Amino acid sequence: MTAGYNTISMGTGRKEFNPKKERPGLDHYIKDAGQGVLKQIGGADKIDESVIGNFMSARFNKQAHLGGFAGAIDPKLEFKPSLSVEGACGSGGLSLITGIRSVLAETADTVLSIGVEVQNTVKAIYGADILAGAGWFDKRKHGHAYFFPGQFSDRAGVYYEKYGHEYARNGMRRWFVNAIENARLDPTAQEYHNSTPDLAVLYDKMTPNGKAFVDHLNVLDCSKVSDGASGIVVASEEGLQRMGIDKKDAVEVAGWAQLTRNITNDPPDPVELTTIKAAAAKAMEMAGITMDQVGTVETHDCFSIAGILAVEALGLAAPGKGAEYVAEGNTARNGKMPMNTTGGLIGWGHPTGGTGVHQAVTIWQQLTGKAGDAQITLSDDRPYGLTINMGGDDVTVVAIVYKRA
């Protein structure tokens, strides 16, 4: 993969965001991300096909058939293969996997992968109903009004009961602080302008209140409603040569997995992200590595408890020890395992269908030294990056292992 590009992640938290004023639409973000990639590779004639990952544009924007927008990015993409893919919040990851499969099948040497979502089109409570489509909608009437915060609030509640409330909140607080501190280093991040002097104090003031929101999470435990898009090229070695890009400016896809559990069932264990655990293990097995060789991870922290549980699913900490692992600073940018170095979903933002591609862009930036102020130091004995993109409540998961060139 090469030539990654992110639009600004737009929403509350950005100084230029004003919900009362007209904002850019879906086509703007697709064009911005696509053209940002094309400028780095010498133009659209270098692209064989395009894949656009998106979750709910048919409801948020009343627009479907997003594969048809490739030609709007550049006229030279018209009359080339283009399609859209959907897997809830994992749609961006499916866009990447579709590109990977095309290259491996030798039907394309260069695939433009885009992930996009524009969600600030409805009030939050209506948006919650739309986002509930990432779960089994038959259960909507039995779920919380804020359906997905309710799902992960329930997971957090079981974690509190099993391992201790204050213990868990200490880890979740640190996860939030890390997210905002990292986002402040990336000009495209939704929380880039956040200047709160003491983030931990702010977090503690926001006590979870089931009467106002959900029982076991506060709003700072949640990713924000976001508009944005990301793009990257998935290419064969021949494709790199055609684009005139040196391998040092690309990352090798060393392993991947895309697994899906039965959406009609409840999670097997509320305090385990079972599908993430299996997908990550399969991707690393394909790459022939262990977590000890991974230098940085981008994981799907739609909620802070999801970050804690991902730490445990990846085997970085034993069950119940994830909160402690995070609280001790191990996932901070200077910790043992830097995670979500540009803020993740809580800090950078969560344009649902765009998140998986944004994660790939961040890993590409870090492994090629292009992360700017957000750059971390990676050791030679840990040359791999890992992304975990989750759709729904641990239903569709895409895990990808990347290697430094």
Domain-embedded: residue 10: yes
Q: Are residues 103 and 148 in the same domain?
A: no
Cβ contacts of residue 49 below 8 Å, gap of 6+?
80, 81, 82, 102, 107, 108, 111, 112
Q: Are residues 59 and 178 in the same domain?
A: no
Q: Tens of pLDDT along 298-316?
A: 999 999 999 999 999 999 9
CA 104 to centroid of chain Cα atoms: 24
Q: What angle do CA 103, 366, 390 make, to 5 degrees?
A: 60
Q: Are residues 303 and 320 in the same domain?
A: yes
Q: Are residues 205 and 245 in the same domain?
A: no
Domain-embedded: residue 254: yes
Residue 7: CATH number of its domain: 3.40.47.10
Q: Are residues 164 and 265 in the same domain?
A: yes
pLDDT at 172 over 90: yes
Domain-embedded: residue 127: no
Q: Tell me if the pTM is above 0.95.
A: yes
Rounded to the nearest integer, the mean pLDDT of the chain is 97
Q: In the predicted model, what is the mean pLDDT of residues 191-197?
A: 97
Distance CA 277, CA 397 (A): 10
Q: Are residues 240 and 262 in the same domain?
A: no
Q: Are residues 143 and 233 in the same domain?
A: no
Report the number of distinct structural domains present in the chain: 2
Q: Are residues 46 and 150 in the same domain?
A: no
Q: Are residues 218 and 243 in the same domain?
A: no
pLDDT at 144 over 90: no
Containing structural domain, residue 176 = 134-222+250-403
Distance CA 46, CA 3 (A): 12
Q: In the predicted model, what is the mean pLDDT of residues 11-15?
A: 95
Q: Are residues 38 and 156 in the same domain?
A: no
Domain-embedded: residue 203: yes
Q: Are residues 271 and 308 in the same domain?
A: yes
Q: Are residues 269 and 388 in the same domain?
A: yes
Pick from 177, 159, 176: which is nearest to 168 by CA? Answer: 159
